[in-house]
Structure 1
Amino acid sequence: MSIFAIGLSGLRAAQSGLFATSGNISNVGTPGYNRELVQLSENRAAGVLVNGVERQFNQFVATRLNAASGSLASFEAYHTQVKQIDNLLSDERAGLAPAMQEFFKAIGQVNSNPADPAARAGVMGTAGTLTAQFRSFDNYLNDIERNIGNEITYEVNSINSLNTQIASLNKEILLARSGGTEAPNSLLNQRDQLVHELSQKMDVRVYEQSSGSYSVSMSNGLPLVAGDKTYELEAQTDQADPTRLAIVYTNATGQPIQLRENVFSRGSLGGLLEFRSESLDTLRNQLGQMVAVFASAMNEQHQQGVDLNQDPGQAMFSMGSPLTYSHSANTGDATATTTITDATALLATDFDVQLGPDGYQVTRLDNGKTVPATFDAATNTLSFAGVEVSFAGGAVAEGDRFKVRPLVNQAKNFELELEDGSQFAAAQSNASGDNSNSLALQELQNQLLVEGKGTFNQAYGSMVSTLGNQINVVQANMAAQQGLTEQLYALQQSESGVNLDEEAANLIRYQQYYQANAKVIETGSTILDTILSLR
């Protein structure tokens, strides 16, 4: 055994330690960097052996951290969107309840003097303000939905980009390892950081193959990355609703598959989809329900009266029409049209109508519950929840589906039909001073017209309360998830993170180690010189 070989092996080990420590220090702020340690073992032939530089990475902790970060990103995306609506509802100037109260207050002024032009003008003015407030609120919600579509497209494109980068790194890592060199720690860190970023976008499962390559799949098992191959997602028009986007997966044969929203239970994409289906759709339907019930009740009562010109009362308000969409996969050629038959029976939800082997089945899209329905073969109409769906233009094939949205379009076209105050039908006879119809119109605010169990103010309060509860739940979940994520991050950093104090100590230790081994070589050289001088 040579003293020079021993000293030289120690120099190399010390140098490797200095390189690793220096790399740790320089990457202290690098996202995704994992601390590196030199692995040494005894070399009986000549001192110490450097087995390599190992990164301190715990796959189990990383997987838990990715899952927690994905859930947190979902809650944050949901919270960001829902707060926009809460800010509008909490704005007293833009609130719908004050506008409705002013309208009924103006009708009360007419009750005091039915022929007063100023009082009648007050009804017209407050009615115009009321309809404008509803349209403005609906337009705001429509803008949010349009922005959600843009954000969904952006998130999908980001996911595809991350998948492509992971697949590229899979290939690079395999090539690096096939060369028999040291583990490509830098490439491994980059790939794990990309997986972390992907987990913040959507719920994924990651499996490491025996070759060291990552396979990434969705929660339903469909692969996104397999070796150096990727499978793309795309934001496309929903098969059931052409007004919104859905996520489509292209499989190995090139066949597009529209994915269910519950596949994206985590990540920012999941938060956007959950907000759209749970909060935005619910609020738009509640808003449309208020308009439909209010306008129908006011029109029905107003048409029972007589205006100042002794003409029969006309419809006071107009509103939007229900929307019905045929599923793009339908094999039958029938089209469907929906009309509202009983506004007081309307439910604040959309519906899925499907023809099965036992007849039509109607399902609420907000909670998945089945709704009782009656089909009239003579008129080819299906009746349920205050609406009637008529099928025409051909036959409905078994398995055909239709999406029915009775309420989403109501507020958009909510308009005052009367042109001046003289058309307000305050009376029910030609008698001077008759205000009986005006009194009946004012009394509508106290009747349980919304689903037969709530007044207009109560319905609005329920809308605000539902949104408030959703905000409270998501805030509580977000706070809990934030705490869990921070704990897991601290656990991950305790093992994989760089501690500058520890690295500074290692730097001194490896420096002394280097100097000591240099002294060994120097001592060996001195001994050799002494021996040679004896000759």
Structure 2
Amino acid sequence: MGVNILQIGTSGLQAAEIGIATTGQNISNANTPGYNQEVTQQATSPEQGFSFGFLGQGTQVDTITRDFNALLAQQINTTQSASSQITSYSNQITPIDNMIANPSAGLSPVLQSFFSSLQNLSSNPAGVASLQTAMSGAQTLVAQFQSLQTELSQSSSNVNSQISDEVNTINTDAQQLATVNSAIQVAYGTANNQPPNALLDQRDALVNSLSKETQVTVVPVGNQYNVFIGNGQPLVVGATASTLQTVPSAANPANLEVAYTINGNAVPIGESSLPGGTLGGLFAFRTNSLEPIQNALGQVAIVLGSNLNAQNELGQTINGTMGQALFTVASPVVNANTGNTGNAVISAAITNPSALTADNYSLTYNGGNYSITDTTTNTVKSTFAAFPAVPTAGVNVIDGVTYTLTSGAMAAGDSVLVSPTFGGAAGFGLATTDPTQIASAAPIATSSATTNTGTGVMTPGSVTTGYTPAAVAPPITLTYAALTNSLSGFPVGSTVVTTVNGVSTTYAGYVAGTPIPYTSGMSMTFNNMAVGLSGIPANGDTYTVGPNTNGKGDNRNVLLMNALLTQNTMNNGTTTYQGAYAQMVNSVGNTTSQLTTTGTTETNLLTAAQQQQQSVSGVNLDQETVNLLQYQQVYEACGKVIQVASQNFSTLLSLNGS
């Protein structure tokens, strides 16, 4: 057999033509997202042996491959997932940070303004205009709490909506990925096991899209990808895609969670099992920021409203009546798990506002014992076999909240989520709009007999929780006896507590005529009233504690109300209202700042990974131009070879013809 120069030239011509087509494909897709540069893999054709040795038979194109690096693709997907989570979290919390930290639109200026109106009222406690100003301040305070809560509720609603959108996107990508997996398998089988590069690019782009939504893990199996999300939940296995859906959380139906659809049934996936991506950012924001913010704001509202109500109820209005509640105060939010099998009805009531925290709690039953766990800190606060007949601190009274089994019984495995302060801001409102219901005066007044000859002076007096007008009906008259240096005349059967220089002495079950030792400057409490006496009384001097019958100009109670602003009445007496709010603002600000910093870092890492990937897989137009020229030259040269072969063949024919 002779040397086939024509075949050699033709093979080179065909290879160059394929190379030019591949180069043209690269150039035309230089800006196509997800496109990986393709390379023509060319090899020499099998040689043919002759007596003088082996001679090549031209060239052949074995395959067209992608410049694809699986390790770089995995790095991009991992970084993309982390970056998307931080971006999602940051986008949600930034508007809230701007809202609550705004020096003119946050809670602090409105809170300060309200207490300033109480301070002004103390200067003119009987003035109708002053009372109206104070009530207007209360209305503005309520409106501000409601405004902040509305924004937070809208944010919560937006999170649910976005979770649904993300699940729909994941389902779409997963279904497309399964379809592409199937197409890839078919393509390999019908094209002599050659790689279908466009389908492979599409598959990798879909995986990258999924990594923006949630954390993904890719496990190659043959020519296909199996894709798992979160902590290992299968999403795509070969040509089969699982379907996700959103369902109300069993623990808190107000929150949507993600679930698998298996045989028509929804099987929830815990939030902690779906980290990464936009979806993970939404879950992290809701759990770590949104709900704690709502709880913290609600805590301020509940403690503030409770304290102001309690103090107003200890005062006397300009109409001479005891004050009533000024504000409505929310009760804890109690959600029985929808999967409970028992019929227990659990109630929770705030019995000590000062001891409240901004945490959530879970009451569970294992069939033998009940447990109350602080789910925010994951701390078991109490374990008991049965609910006490009387509320007991440390058992069913935890952090200012009393838990009660109202009816029914819990079955083993049942749980109840209790959020003591979650609804605090939403439930904060005005119990009255009547300004005359602001009780500026104290309900009791003290007086010294005009016949007294000593220098004893009794303080105006105040009342404490539990006081009723019956305590001074009739008025109480205390008489000083010089012989025994004592006072008598306290209400029969009452408990009298005297305090001198910080040392208290209790006299229980007072009997008529019993002398109580006197020391100048001592304070005395009885029947939920407190008075003080100083000076040197004379024998027979009397002092009366009675109703405040002329209290229109009295400001004692409104001064006590105003003093609440600077008192440490929150978190077990460790901070003020403004202090607690400031802690919340600082926490949100710190989180926002950290997300901004971390987000910048993750964005830079993602950009670096993408640049590295592009340096390997991206189209280099300069290089492609060189390749195009090379293939063109090869094409022309091979054409010349064919031309020479043709001329040689013609020469042979002419020689034979001669």
In the alignment, the residues of structure 2 paired with residue 17 and residue 364 of structure 1 have an alpha-carbon distance, to the nearest angstrom, of 67
Other-structure match for 1:442 = 562
Other-structure match for 1:476 = 597
Where do residues 374-413 of structure 1 align in structure 2 (5 Å cutoff)?
Answer: 376-378=387-389, 382-413=396-427
In the alignment, the residues of structure 2 paired with residue 70 and residue 489 of structure 1 have an alpha-carbon distance, to the nearest angstrom, of 13
2:387–2:405 Cα contact (<8 Å) kept? no
Other-structure match for 1:24 = 26
Other-structure match for 1:263 = 273
Confirm whether residue 423 of structure 1 aligns to residue 425 of structure 2.
no
Other-structure match for 1:322 = 332
In the alignment, the residues of structure 1 paired with residue 432 and residue 186 of structure 2 have an alpha-carbon distance, to the nearest angstrom, of 77
Structure 1 stretch 47-56 or stretch 419-428: which is displaced more?
419-428
Structure 1 stretch 89-98 or stretch 74-83: which is displaced more?
89-98
Alignment partner of 2:244 out of 233, 246, 249: 233
Matched AA of 1:426: S
In the alignment, the residues of structure 2 paired with residue 11 and residue 367 of structure 1 have an alpha-carbon distance, to the nearest angstrom, of 73
Deviation at 1:170, TM superposition (A): 0.8
1:8–1:517 Cα contact (<8 Å) kept? yes
2:373–2:382 Cα contact (<8 Å) kept? no
1:418–1:424 Cα contact (<8 Å) kept? no
Confirm whether residue 155 of structure 1 aligns to residue 166 of structure 2.
yes
1:319–1:412 Cα contact (<8 Å) kept? no
Deviation at 1:355, TM superposition (A): 1.3
Structure 1 stretch 461-470 or stretch 114-123: which is displaced more?
114-123
Matched AA of 1:508: L
Deviations 1:240-260 (A, max 9, x none): 111111111234x55532111
Where do residues 180-259 of structure 1 align in structure 2 (5 Å cutoff)?
Answer: 180-181=191-192, 182-210=194-222, 212-251=223-262, 255-259=265-269
In the alignment, the residues of structure 2 paired with residue 8 and residue 379 of structure 1 have an alpha-carbon distance, to the nearest angstrom, of 100
In the alignment, the residues of structure 2 paired with residue 39 and residue 367 of structure 1 have an alpha-carbon distance, to the nearest angstrom, of 60
- What SS does structure 2 have at the residue aligned with 1:68? helix
Matched AA of 2:30: V
2:348–2:401 Cα contact (<8 Å) kept? yes
In the alignment, the residues of structure 2 paired with residue 365 and residue 235 of structure 1 have an alpha-carbon distance, to the nearest angstrom, of 23
Matched AA of 2:24: S
Confirm whether residue 495 of structure 1 aligns to residue 616 of structure 2.
yes
Other-structure match for 1:364 = 374
Structure 1 stretch 364-373 or stretch 14-23: which is displaced more?
364-373
Contiguous gaps of at least 5 residues in structure 2: 48-56, 444-547
Structure 1 stretch 415-424 or stretch 33-42: which is displaced more?
415-424
2:569–2:576 Cα contact (<8 Å) kept? yes
Confirm whether residue 514 of structure 1 aligns to residue 528 of structure 2.
no
In the alignment, the residues of structure 1 paired with residue 438 and residue 246 of structure 2 have an alpha-carbon distance, to the nearest angstrom, of 49
Deviation at 1:338, TM superposition (A): 1.4
Identity of aligned residues (%): 36
Matched AA of 1:481: E
Matched AA of 1:188: L
Other-structure match for 2:136 = 125
In the alignment, the residues of structure 2 paired with residue 38 and residue 144 of structure 1 have an alpha-carbon distance, to the nearest angstrom, of 53
Other-structure match for 2:514 = none
In the alignment, the residues of structure 2 paired with residue 369 and residue 217 of structure 1 have an alpha-carbon distance, to the nearest angstrom, of 32
Deviation at 1:378, TM superposition (A): 2.7
Deviation at 1:358, TM superposition (A): 5.6
In the alignment, the residues of structure 2 paired with residue 279 and residue 159 of structure 1 have an alpha-carbon distance, to the nearest angstrom, of 25
Alignment partner of 2:346 out of 336, 341, 354: 336
Deviations 1:438-482 (A, max 9, x none): 111111111111112110111111111010011011111101101
Say if 1:474 and 1:358 are closer, same or farther in 2 by CA, change over 3 A. farther
Deviation at 1:95, TM superposition (A): 1.1
Matched AA of 2:593: N
In the alignment, the residues of structure 1 paired with residue 109 and residue 73 of structure 2 have an alpha-carbon distance, to the nearest angstrom, of 52
Deviation at 1:357, TM superposition (A): 5.3
Matched AA of 1:346: L
Q: Which has the higher strand share?
A: 2
1:35–1:56 Cα contact (<8 Å) kept? yes
**Aligned positions, number:** 533
Matched AA of 1:477: T
Structure 1 stretch 292-301 or stretch 378-387: which is displaced more?
378-387
1:278–1:366 Cα contact (<8 Å) kept? no
Deviation at 1:413, TM superposition (A): 2.2
Other-structure match for 2:121 = 110
In the alignment, the residues of structure 2 paired with residue 438 and residue 479 of structure 1 have an alpha-carbon distance, to the nearest angstrom, of 51
Q: TM-score, normalised by structure 1?
A: 0.97
Other-structure match for 2:95 = 84
Confirm whether residue 457 of structure 1 aligns to residue 578 of structure 2.
yes
Deviations 1:397-445 (A, max 9, x none): 1211111111111211211223322221111132442211111111111
1:204–1:216 Cα contact (<8 Å) kept? yes
2:363–2:418 Cα contact (<8 Å) kept? yes
In the alignment, the residues of structure 2 paired with residue 240 and residue 226 of structure 1 have an alpha-carbon distance, to the nearest angstrom, of 31
Deviation at 1:320, TM superposition (A): 2.0
Other-structure match for 2:4 = 2
In the alignment, the residues of structure 2 paired with residue 49 and residue 419 of structure 1 have an alpha-carbon distance, to the nearest angstrom, of 92
Structure 1 stretch 195-204 or stretch 335-344: which is displaced more?
335-344
Structure 1 stretch 520-529 or stretch 358-367: which is displaced more?
358-367
In the alignment, the residues of structure 1 paired with residue 244 and residue 147 of structure 2 have an alpha-carbon distance, to the nearest angstrom, of 35
Deviations 1:251-287 (A, max 9, x none): 4x55532111112210001101111111100100000
In the alignment, the residues of structure 2 paired with residue 265 and residue 505 of structure 1 have an alpha-carbon distance, to the nearest angstrom, of 46
Matched AA of 2:272: N
Alignment partner of 2:82 out of 26, 47, 71: 71
Matched AA of 1:332: G
In the alignment, the residues of structure 1 paired with residue 314 and residue 90 of structure 2 have an alpha-carbon distance, to the nearest angstrom, of 47
- What SS does structure 2 have at the residue aligned with 1:250? strand
Deviation at 1:379, TM superposition (A): 5.9
Matched AA of 2:407: G
Other-structure match for 1:58 = 69
In the alignment, the residues of structure 2 paired with residue 129 and residue 92 of structure 1 have an alpha-carbon distance, to the nearest angstrom, of 16
- What SS does structure 2 have at the residue aligned with 1:126? helix
In the alignment, the residues of structure 1 paired with residue 619 and residue 368 of structure 2 have an alpha-carbon distance, to the nearest angstrom, of 65
1:373–1:384 Cα contact (<8 Å) kept? no
